[in-house]
Amino acid sequence: MITDTEIRTKGFQVLARHLGNVEAERFVALIQRELFDYTKWRQDMDNDLSVEEISRRAMADRSKNTEQGS
């Protein structure tokens, strides 16, 4: 089993490789800043989506939640 630090490092490397450093940082900030139900979001996500599409959907959910006052 790998450590939490290793998981964070590897996870960010994957995000950065697919989104670039700036967009990866934005994605992480969005998840940390907003009330975010990862389990629901993940269940609704199609496994064949690209990282870019996943990011776009996460940002759209964030916008929707912000507009609703969540």
pLDDT per residue over 22-63, tens digit each? 999 998 888 887 776 777 777 776 677 788 888 888 888 878
Instruction: Enter the tokens of residue 39.
Output: 């389990």
DSSP-derived 3-state class of residue 70: coil
**Residue 70 confidence (pLDDT) above 60:** no
CA distances in angstroms from 67 to 6, 33, 64, listed in the order given: 35, 15, 5
Range of the domain at 23: 4-67
pTM over 0.75? The answer is: no
Return the pLDDT at 68.
61
pLDDT the model gives residue 9: 93
- pLDDT exceeds cutoff 90 at 17: yes
- Residue 27: count other Cβ atoms within 10 Å of its Cβ: 21
* Cα–Cα distance measured from residue 5 to residue 17, given in angstroms and rounded to the nearest whole number: 18
Q: What is the DSSP string of 19-51?
A: H-HHHHHHHHHHHHHS---HHHHHHHS-TT--H
In the chain, the number of structural domains is 1
